[in-house]
Chain A
């Protein structure tokens, strides 16, 4: 049985276990029909031209992982940004882990999707926001069909959330292969500010396929900073679908650090539904072996006087492949839009590949849009310069790569994240650099 058939028959089992909830069950039913009609995307589709899912779809994934053995915090501490005080929403094989988590209902809700779906007091938010930003593409639809658990965050208005929130999904490898479909909903009301760190981490070498959907709503003048740390094992694959719906004068940023995994596809979509909105999309990708990382971004400028800033840096070694497909749509009404996009890549191996493709669809006439992509090698003259000062080749390469990534690092607002990213980069490059960026 192929994975699609397995999922369709699993849905019948899943459906039978669900609570009697006409509203959500109708959404799930519509979604599974959409997935059934569309199936998994293939390379024939323009948006998937450079990323084939074939190699990861052939595994025999368990769709409903068994209850996990408990994990001690000390075993997984290193996957947290543990040197800061934070809220934590932690899942193990798709199930909530209360002993690793630290949630709150004190003036805001930082808790679980399963609770939000079940309890009447959250119903209004669910009905107003759940599945309102996600597209009806096949993979988000598949997630919607099976949606039952994930992070639920609602920050009411005028609230500055003092601590960042970490959302971490662990997989244990208790079964040979598992598929996870976490569903996160984040609603940030007027004038509120929140910082979120997200990570998917496999704890073994068993195959994992995660098809995640995160919907983020940044209401009027809200500020949302989102950091995605992707440094998973070579058998873990991630399809990350993130949809950010911004209202007027809101500021939202997503930094995506892609250092690992077998196949990573980031579908990152911003919708600007008001004036004077600011959106930032930044990423650093450093991969090797046969890894594949695909950044597929969309910024949709719908209203006038908004800005978007995209800056993606990629360093590709060995047989790795990278894709950057950045789409900017500027509606006819969205005059005075400023949209910037940059994608710079370094190939450090003859066998590495990068496909980069800016796509601009501009229907307004008074806009500033710029895009640029570069593909190059490490600057030989800079290498000689550094080596002539006594810096060995490996360290010199690392310094150049740090320098190359610096633009992206400079907008990270949490110093501990910067330090962590610097350490991960240093470890990946096998060097010990005595300073942070």
Chain B
């Protein structure tokens, strides 16, 4: 589904990704771990199509198509979703109206009619229950005044609504207490199927107790320096990142 080949990317002429290779197949859960500043969030943003990052070398193939020239919204239409580490507050646009617009724009891009209001309401009800989201919450301005946990839960709610093929969860566990973490992880697990894939980006192993990865990759200094199964996450939790750094620098 996703194939990243020798990806180099920079922002303001500062090189951040220095040759990433990664393949994710349908049905898989991958985790990318790594110390702060290793390029984890950059990788997520580059795949999602953030314009300020410049791909200087390599490519990103999604379902057989090079997506480098595609705008963020076109990537979204093709089924890529990014759950933001810091969801943006948009005062004046309610969660419901935002989702309606997102879904209908996606349908428009696919040549489909707008979703009938009745179906939309049903879908919203269904998905908000999955994330244990209060109905009142949906009429509030998007992310405005939301707690850290509410923002993250809202991200996964959006994911549930949009049903992406590839969901990238960027530090979704940060700022979550254990109950919220469980709700969020439970939501992600329920959405998982053999046809979609999840890429979890995290600093800590905690979230991976709930969303169990098939593969764990360690990102350090813009490169994937180590890959393994879920046991690698435990090892990192116990030993920290210093041994990886030493191994790489040796």
Q: Contacts A390-B162, A433-B101, A434-B114 given; indicate if A382 touches B90 (C-beta within 8 A).
A: yes
Q: Which of A384, A390, A404 contacts B105 (CB 8 A)?
A: A390
**A389 in contact with B90 (CB, 8 Å):** no
B143 closest partner in A (C-beta) = A385
Complex CA gap A382/B86 in Å reads 11
Residues on the B chain within 8 Å of A402, using CB: 92-93
Find out whether the CB atom of B90 lies under 8 angstroms from the CB atom of A400: yes
Taking a contact as CB atoms under 8 Å apart, the answer to whether B84 and A390 are in contact is no
Answer whether residue A407 sits at the interface, using C-beta atoms and an 8 A cutoff: yes
Stretch in A93-101, A150-158, A206-214, A391-399 touching the partner: A391-399
Given A384-B72, A387-B72, A387-B73, A435 and B88 touching (CB < 8 A)?
Answer: no
Return the contact of A434 from the options B52, B100, B106 (Cβ within 8 A).
Answer: B100
* Chain B residues near A380 (CB-CB < 8 A): 52
Is there a chain A Cβ closer than 8 Å to B71's Cβ?
yes
Interface size on A, residues (CB 8 A): 28
> A384 to B92, Cβ gap below 8 A?
no
Interface residues in B17-53 (C-beta closer than 8 Å to A): 48-52
Q: Are A388 and B72 in contact (CB under 8 A)?
A: yes
Partner of A403, one of B50, B75, B91: B91
Smallest CB-CB separation from A436: which chain B residue? Answer: B97
A255, chain B: closest CB distance, angstroms: 16
Contact A391 B105 (CB under 8 A): yes
Residues on the B chain within 8 Å of A393, using CB: 71, 73
Contact size range, B: 20 to 34
The total of interchain contacts (Cβ-Cβ below 8 angstroms) comes to 86
Q: Within 8 Å CB of B106, what residues of A?
A: 390
Contact B97 A389 (CB under 8 A): no
Q: What are the residues of chain A within 8 A of B88 when measuring CB–CB?
A: 379, 381-382, 385
Q: A146 vs B105: C-alpha distance in the bound complex, in angstroms?
A: 54
Q: Shortest beta-carbon distance, B90 to chain A, in Å?
A: 6
A406 at the interface (CB under 8 A from B): yes
Chain A neighbourhood of B100, CB < 8 A: 434-435
A437 to B162, CA, bound (A): 23
Closest to A407 in B: B92
A435 contacts B73, C-beta separation under 8 Å = no
Query: Closest residue to A379 on the B side, CB-wise?
Result: B88
B87 at the interface (CB under 8 A from A): yes
What A residues does B75 contact at CB under 8 A?
Answer: 388
Chain A residue at minimum C-beta to C-beta distance from B161: A389
B102 within 8 A of A: yes
Task: Pick 22 A–B contacts, CB within 8 A, sort by A.
Answer: A381-B88, A384-B51, A386-B98, A387-B71, A388-B48, A388-B75, A388-B81, A389-B76, A389-B81, A389-B158, A390-B73, A390-B105, A390-B109, A399-B98, A399-B101, A403-B90, A403-B92, A403-B141, A404-B92, A406-B93, A434-B100, A435-B97
In the bound complex, residues from chain B placing their C-beta under 8 Å from that of A391 are: 73, 101-102, 105
Find out whether the CB atom of A434 lies under 8 angstroms from the CB atom of B104.
Answer: yes
**How far is the CB of B78 from the nearest CB of chain A, in Å?**
10
The answer, yes or no, to whether B82 is at the interface (CB within 8 Å) is yes
What 4 additional pairs, Cβ within 8 angstroms, besides A386-B98, A389-B98, A405-B92? A382-B88, A387-B49, A387-B72, A390-B162
**Contact residue among B50, B102, B109, B158 (Cβ-Cβ distance under 8 Å from A384):** B50
A7 to B106, CA, bound (A): 59
Query: In the complex, A387 Cα to B173 Cα: how many Å?
Result: 23
